[in-house]
Structure 1
Amino acid sequence: MTSICKGFNRAALALAVALVIPAVQAKTLVYCSEGSPENFTPALNTTGTSFDAARPVYDKLTQFTRGSTQVEPALAESWTVSPDGKVFTFKLRKGVKFHSGINGFKPTRDFNADDVLFSFERQWKADHPYAKISGGKYDYFADMGLPDDLQTIEKVDPLTVKITLKRANVTMLANLAMDFASIHSAEYADMLAKANKKEQFDQQPVGTGPFSFVMYQKDAVIRYKANKDFWGAAGEKALVDDLVFAITPDPTARYSKLKAGECHFVIAPRPADLPEMQKDASLKLINQPGLNIAYWAFNTQKPPFDKKEVRQALSMAIDKAAIIKDVYLGAGQAAKNLIPPTLWSYNDTVKDYAFDAAKAKDLLAKAGVKTPLEIDLWYMPVQRPYNPNAKRIAEMMQADLAKVGVNAKLVTYEWGEYRKRMQQGEHITGMLGWTGDNGDPDNFFFLRGCDAARPGGQNLSKWCNKEFDGRLEKARTIADVKERTKLYQEMQVIEHDDAPDMKIAHSVVYEVMRKEVNGYKQSPFGSHQFNGVELK
């Protein structure tokens, strides 16, 4: 991605940064973020890095109460759901103002139903004027089955929208609080279309959120300013004048900047740095069990990983306990299911594959695999909340695999490219992970659903099991938690036995900030919000 501020030279950038760094300036909050966003339209993205960068700008119809999994009204001030669970009618909030754009856009009207229809129809309808802009891939929308489940989205009146589904979906209100459901300005889109500048829409964002976008220099800085017209409650408004993302991929560099006062907040500290952080009176270290999973996916469409015995064998070949001890340093627990044990419907009766190199070798031989077997092992180039050091884990796996006759070539790419290539299925095996978006087990299990196994989908094992998928689809139509729990527990057994991936760990998520930061609430979804946060 090139800079989206044409004519914004390096001298001007240096001046802009100098105005906001060091972070001790009273009304500027600086977040040392871990990477660059792919763009600023959440519907096009799947990474927490990109969602974090867009989140200050946008609102959704529903939202999660900051720091919790509770769904609450946002741009929709109320809603009703039909008895059959198929029709959702939203009453929209009156008087909500859109930001002005950095390219001269000035809104002439308030938020209304046209903006809702634009935002969803772009993802849903192939003939939408913005459908193909910026690549036109809406992976969240597609992987969750919405292209098939949606029947109509109707504007009842300027402040009422009705969404009708072909089948009931009890996760719908929580899904609409996820980032892919962010609401954009249809008027802004029209202005850019008339100027033949549609590509600016996803690079120079306009929303209704607590902060408005100011500028972005790739791999360097994103700057936002407080939206004085934000509709939210006083405690949820922007409580600082400026918000800056200082893009700093290296965790050691982030920590150094934090100690020097060059940033106020960082995520994903190195486990080895935690004891020192805890002793520093100028810092506040917070943590909570992560709603997450780190996994190693086997591409089931590529031999010999089309055989479950091979996938089971490699699951047995890895010393998971050593990874937890040496890489997570006590900030994680071994995983055996896709969902973490803190989430309802977790099936604790599932037995993890034991570390057994001899049995792994025997299984490979029985599956007809001749050794040495040459594979690739992809690892993430960035630190994630669920995986503190993917390269180190890959090196440990590589050593374990060599002992059973498997030679693993380690592969990585730039973060956005890595995700794109894995979603296309270029890998043989590869590491990734997930942090839940909405507190519902469906939000994890869809990662192994057949919809998400398509090229570009988020099912990185490219595994489609009809028994698993049938239960996944059925559970979405059932309101009864006991019935859903039974289906989800059966799905965990099916997935374990077929072994499309090896579960590595559920991590404890640590975040650290300077002591002058007040009002920040750690999200169970691993997202980062800075409205309602002040400096004292």
Structure 2
Amino acid sequence: MKKKKFWTLGVMLILVLSTILAACGGSDTKDTGSKDTSSGGDTASSGEPKILVYGRGGDSVALDPAVVTDGESFTVTANIYETLVNFGEKDVTIQPGLAKSWEPSEDGLTYTFQLQEGVKFHDGTDFNAEAVVKNFERWKSNTDKHPYFSSQFVVGDTQVIESVTAEGNNTVVFKLSQPQAPFLKNLAMSPFAIASPTAFEADEEGLSTNPVGTGPFKFVSWVRNDAITIEKNPDYYIDGYPKLDKVIYRSIPENSARLTDLIAGNIDVADGLSPSDKGTIEGDANLQLIERPSMNVGYLGLTVTRPPFDNVKVRQAVNYAIDKQALVDAFYEGLAEPAKNPMPPVISGYNDEVKGYEYDPEKAKSLLAEAGYDGKEIELWAMPVPRPYMPDGQKVAEAIQKNLEDVGIKSKIVSFEWATYLEKAENGEADAFLLGWTGDNGDADNFLYTLLDGDNIHSNNYTFYDNQELHKLLVAAQTEIDEDKRNELYKQAQEIISEDAPWVPLAHSTPILAANTKVTNYVAHPTGSDRLDAVDMK
């Protein structure tokens, strides 16, 4: 789901595909940009333009990072837009971005940023302090449209960011209403990339299909469910970057078809591959295997406002009914571990003392009997696209369906187009649904508060779970600067979540990508949003 994911969706998605790609399967939607007649990346060594074709399992929802939460959108926007601060190349340490330096006050309520100079947006607008202010004012003024701003910077009815002020062209001052431990990590997240004020003031909705940032690549075109094309920004302020001239993101839903295209040389990078493809990749001298550091969770969500999952005993029964180890063995090929908490063990504050739910069908049956479960069939939603935490949603759903049937719960598997799936889940229309989350910033807050706090219902909390005791712990943890005390709060929170069982945490995976050996300097980031500015081709 990005992480979750998991939204103000229903936004258009439309782009362009090369003539060669179009011959393989066109689109009945209209172009939002000029036609691109380039093909794959086989020409780099001959001195022709370096064109990287990136195969992925699903299309983006929108290209305005402020209005989406899905990873497929951020995959593209991370290369068109930039944030004030960046994550490290391989981790979530905080590095300079559009801000070259920053200074927090002793009380943690004021942050002063010094901005890069001489930077321009792709439409020629100057990047400066006023542009930063206008972006934050845009997000603050309508939190319903900007789900990540709401989940990361609004606690209850309180705006964490009290004000953002420009002091001259290159200095921005943030004043907070309360300390926020993950403040800088939040700013580095893809949703808080800075867009051209000229663009969104003229046509805010249009930013979703015609993005305008400061990044190393500029938007060219989009054909829905087909391809998005971006090209080198010739005016990029970092000398020598990007290395590539053009990137084409192709949507190829079938994992096997994506791998076949990679082997055939039709694409240069394949994301979202099945773990079972690892041996094939390692056995091909023309391919390289790339492992993404694990920072995710795949889960089965149980919408607590819909019968039968409004009964905690039914939710606990489902947790006992599902054989997580069998799922991991069958579908992850040793590239995952069963999950018991909503966040992965690599995140500070993980509670390994939580017992979780062992596979115990008899216990599940007993709880269902206690709950008075009436045996009515439920809908089980299967993800339509592969994601890092869920390589094959349909097959996982089929295995879960069998587990549920074994304890007396009948289910019907349904699915929808990706954007529709997310929108309907956000609106609470699912009984039980498969989804997951790749951490945006490496902080426990980004898993527990973002995905399971009542504040984020109608945002990333698709289960509509709302526990006030949990809420108090999570809000306290946001303002606690002492790391040990903060971790203790998160450990208590995981105990409550485990008991209330709004999810069945399924697995923490190590996602794999593959590339042909012509591709160099490709680094897979744990957040799932890979920057391509340093990627090159032989």
- Say whether the fold is shared (TM-score over 0.5): yes
2:530 aligned partner, one-letter code: H
Of residues 385, 393, 397, the one that matches 1:390 is: 393
The change in CA–CA distance for 1:391 and 1:4 in structure 2 (over 3 A counts) is closer
Q: Does 1:73 align with 2:81?
A: no
For 1:462-473, what aligned pairs fall within 5 Å after superposition? 462-473=464-475
The change in CA–CA distance for 1:333 and 1:367 in structure 2 (over 3 A counts) is same
Whether the aligned pair in 1 keeps the contact of 2:217 and 2:232 (CA below 8 Å) is: yes
The change in CA–CA distance for 1:79 and 1:3 in structure 2 (over 3 A counts) is closer
Q: Does 1:261 align with 2:270?
A: no
For 1:445-464, what aligned pairs fall within 5 Å after superposition? 445-446=448-449, 447-453=451-457, 456-464=458-466
Residue aligning to 1:25: 43
Which residues of structure 1 form unaligned runs of 5+? 101-106
Whether the aligned pair in 2 keeps the contact of 1:320 and 1:504 (CA below 8 Å) is: yes
The change in CA–CA distance for 1:384 and 1:10 in structure 2 (over 3 A counts) is closer
For 1:210-289, what aligned pairs fall within 5 Å after superposition? 210-232=216-238, 234=240, 237-289=241-293
CA shift, 1:382, in A, is: 0.6
Distance (Å, rounded) in 1 between the aligned partners of 2:178 and 2:188: 20
Deviations 1:125-149 (A, max 9, x none): 14xxxx8xxxx62111112243632
CA shift, 1:169, in A, is: 0.2
Whether the aligned pair in 2 keeps the contact of 1:144 and 1:451 (CA below 8 Å) is: no
Identity of aligned residues (%): 36
Whether the aligned pair in 2 keeps the contact of 1:299 and 1:427 (CA below 8 Å) is: yes
Distance (Å, rounded) in 1 between the aligned partners of 2:367 and 2:484: 37
Whether the aligned pair in 2 keeps the contact of 1:4 and 1:204 (CA below 8 Å) is: no
Residue aligning to 2:438: 435
Determine helix, strand or coil for the equivalent of 1:117: helix
Residue aligning to 1:486: 488
Determine helix, strand or coil for the equivalent of 2:385: coil
1:231 aligned partner, one-letter code: Y
Q: Does 1:149 align with 2:146?
A: no
The change in CA–CA distance for 1:464 and 1:233 in structure 2 (over 3 A counts) is farther
Determine helix, strand or coil for the equivalent of 1:142: helix
Determine helix, strand or coil for the equivalent of 2:479: coil
The change in CA–CA distance for 1:22 and 1:149 in structure 2 (over 3 A counts) is closer
Residue aligning to 2:426: 423
Residue aligning to 1:474: 476
CA shift, 1:231, in A, is: 2.0
The change in CA–CA distance for 1:361 and 1:35 in structure 2 (over 3 A counts) is same
Residue aligning to 1:104: none
2:476 aligned partner, one-letter code: K
2:454 aligned partner, one-letter code: C
Distance (Å, rounded) in 1 between the aligned partners of 2:459 and 2:384: 20
CA shift, 1:34, in A, is: 2.0
Of residues 114, 130, 137, the one that matches 1:121 is: 137
Of residues 398, 402, 407, the one that matches 1:404 is: 407
Distance (Å, rounded) in 2 between the aligned partners of 1:390 and 1:4: 25
Residue aligning to 1:91: 114
Whether the aligned pair in 2 keeps the contact of 1:239 and 1:532 (CA below 8 Å) is: yes
Distance (Å, rounded) in 2 between the aligned partners of 1:494 and 1:385: 27
Distance (Å, rounded) in 2 between the aligned partners of 1:351 and 1:207: 46
Distance (Å, rounded) in 2 between the aligned partners of 1:198 and 1:440: 30
Distance (Å, rounded) in 2 between the aligned partners of 1:516 and 1:248: 21
Distance (Å, rounded) in 2 between the aligned partners of 1:39 and 1:390: 22
Residue aligning to 2:81: 58
Which residues of structure 2 form unaligned runs of 5+? 1-10, 24-33, 45-49
For 1:357-372, what aligned pairs fall within 5 Å after superposition? 357-370=361-374, 372=375
Per mean C-alpha deviation after superposition, the further-off stretch among 112-121 and 512-521 is 112-121
Determine helix, strand or coil for the equivalent of 1:20: coil
Determine helix, strand or coil for the equivalent of 2:213: coil
Per mean C-alpha deviation after superposition, the further-off stretch among 176-185 and 260-269 is 260-269
Distance (Å, rounded) in 1 between the aligned partners of 2:111 and 2:97: 15
Whether the aligned pair in 1 keeps the contact of 2:19 and 2:38 (CA below 8 Å) is: no
Distance (Å, rounded) in 2 between the aligned partners of 1:413 and 1:513: 29
Distance (Å, rounded) in 2 between the aligned partners of 1:51 and 1:289: 17
Residue aligning to 2:518: 516
Residue aligning to 1:103: none
Aligned length: 509
For 1:158-237, what aligned pairs fall within 5 Å after superposition? 158-190=169-201, 193=202, 197-232=203-238, 234=240, 237=241
The TM-score with structure 1 as length reference comes to 0.91
CA shift, 1:288, in A, is: 4.3
1:21 aligned partner, one-letter code: S
CA shift, 1:4, in A, is: 5.5
4+ residue runs over 6 A deviation: 8-13, 15-18
2:238 aligned partner, one-letter code: G
The change in CA–CA distance for 1:88 and 1:9 in structure 2 (over 3 A counts) is closer
Distance (Å, rounded) in 2 between the aligned partners of 1:344 and 1:466: 23
1:50 aligned partner, one-letter code: S
Per mean C-alpha deviation after superposition, the further-off stretch among 152-161 and 414-423 is 152-161
Residue aligning to 1:137: 145
Distance (Å, rounded) in 2 between the aligned partners of 1:427 and 1:2: 23
Deviations 1:228-270 (A, max 9, x none): 2212364xx2101111112212111111111111111111212
CA RMSD of aligned residues (A): 2.1
The change in CA–CA distance for 1:430 and 1:14 in structure 2 (over 3 A counts) is closer
Determine helix, strand or coil for the equivalent of 1:39: coil
1:511 aligned partner, one-letter code: L
Whether the aligned pair in 2 keeps the contact of 1:24 and 1:262 (CA below 8 Å) is: no
Determine helix, strand or coil for the equivalent of 1:313: helix
Deviations 1:459-479 (A, max 9, x none): 122111112111111111112
CA shift, 1:23, in A, is: 2.3
Per mean C-alpha deviation after superposition, the further-off stretch among 199-208 and 420-429 is 199-208
CA shift, 1:14, in A, is: 5.0
Distance (Å, rounded) in 1 between the aligned partners of 2:477 and 2:75: 30
CA shift, 1:157, in A, is: 2.1
CA shift, 1:188, in A, is: 2.9
Distance (Å, rounded) in 1 between the aligned partners of 2:226 and 2:363: 49
Deviations 1:411-453 (A, max 9, x none): 1110011011101111111110000011111111121112112
Distance (Å, rounded) in 1 between the aligned partners of 2:503 and 2:339: 11
CA shift, 1:92, in A, is: 1.3
